[in-house]
Amino acid sequence: MQRLHNKVAVVTGASKGIGAAIARRFAAEGAAVVVNYASSRQAADTVVADILHAGGQAIAVQADMRDAAQVAQMFARSAEVFGRVDILVNNAGVYDFQPLENLTPDLFQRHFQLNVYGYLLAIKEAVPHMRDGGSIINMSSTVTEFGPAQSSVYTASKGAIDGLTRALATELGPRKIRVNAIKPGVVDTEGVQAGGFLHTDFGPRITAATPLGRLGVPDDIAPAAVYLASDESAWTTGETITLAGGHR
């Protein structure tokens, strides 16, 4: 039996990287998947095509997760096509490592509007479409544990995710809606490549400090999301799962 049979999942930021891997894995486990994207329509369509080719169900829906009207429209579209929402994965995010002297209101707002407000907004809009017993999965990060230099704003936004995960687990517990977080370590994604992190000494330093001797890949993260989305985690809420090859 597929672990997500007859469930409907919305995955934000699912056109690439970790979000795309989760969307594909959810579909393979039987979920109908809403592949959210902000601007990468072609990449989102590729994820949907892969799912459909494998016999699954998926649609791509554009929404800037900072925009309340667009987020509401995305969940309305999801419910229109699939009838409800059982699972929300908050994955869309931004990161821009900058030293403290480069702190500006824009740098702060860019991180917190998407990485924090966007998560809260998605949960607010998802919950009315959820049956009791739904699952919400928030992407946090191990930066909150090892605190890399020049990441203070990004790290602060991910620390906020840890806090809101615990608070909403309590608030939504009476409806048996579970709220958990995944803390990936450094994962080799398109975004990390584009950010240039792996072309400096950052990647080799993290790899050398990782007991399993390598950076992560998106498919390292997706199985944990399946577990948290499935009924196997029915007594798990307000928790975090760290996936970092042992790096701290």
What CATH code is carried by the domain that includes residue 53? 3.40.50.720
- What mean pLDDT do residues 72-93 have? 98
pLDDT at 194: 65
Asked if the structure places residue 58 within a domain, the reply is: yes
pLDDT at 203: 82
Domain of 147 in residue numbering reads as 8-243
Q: Over the stretch 131-171, which tens digit does the pLDDT of each residue have?
A: 999 999 999 999 999 999 999 999 999 999 999 999 999 99
Per-chain mean pLDDT for the chain: 95
The answer to whether residues 246 and 211 touch, using CB atoms and an 8 Å cutoff, is yes
pLDDT at 190: 80
**DSSP-derived secondary structure for 113-147:** IIIIIHHHHHHHHHGGGEEEEEEEEEE--THHHH-
pLDDT at 202: 79
pLDDT score of 215 more than 80:
yes
Overall number of domains in the chain: 1
Asked if the structure places residue 203 within a domain, the reply is: yes
- What mean pLDDT do residues 86-99 have? 95
Among the residue ranges 3-17, 177-191, 220-234, the one predicted with the least confidence is: 177-191
Residues linked to residue 23 through DSSP beta bridges, in sequence order: none
pLDDT at 228: 98
Asked if the structure places residue 208 within a domain, the reply is: yes
Q: Supply the pTM of this predicted model.
A: 0.95
pLDDT score of 74 more than 70:
yes
Asked if the structure places residue 213 within a domain, the reply is: yes
Residues linked to residue 174 through DSSP beta bridges, in sequence order: none
Among the residue ranges 86-90, 180-184, 186-190, the one predicted with the least confidence is: 186-190
Given the residues 95, 117, 154, 227, select the one marked as catalytic.
154
Q: Nearest-CA neighbor of 23 among 33, 37, 13? A: 33
Higher per-residue confidence, 95 vs 111 = 111
Asked if the structure places residue 248 within a domain, the reply is: no
pLDDT score of 96 more than 70:
yes
Active-site residue flag, 227: no
Asked if the structure places residue 227 within a domain, the reply is: yes
pLDDT at 195: 58
Asked if the structure places residue 128 within a domain, the reply is: yes
pLDDT at 200: 77
Taking the C-alpha atoms of residue 29 and residue 2, their distance in angstroms, rounded to an integer, is: 5
The answer to whether residues 4 and 87 touch, using CB atoms and an 8 Å cutoff, is yes
CB neighbour class for 194 (10 Å; exposed up to 12, middle 13-18, buried from 19) = exposed
Taking the C-alpha atoms of residue 158 and residue 141, their distance in angstroms, rounded to an integer, is: 6
Q: Over the stretch 31-71, which tens digit does the pLDDT of each residue have?
A: 999 999 999 999 999 999 999 999 999 999 999 999 999 99
pLDDT at 28: 98
pLDDT at 198: 66
Taking the C-alpha atoms of residue 58 and residue 246, their distance in angstroms, rounded to an integer, is: 34
Asked if the structure places residue 1 within a domain, the reply is: no
Helix axes 118-126, 68-82, angle to 10 degrees: 40
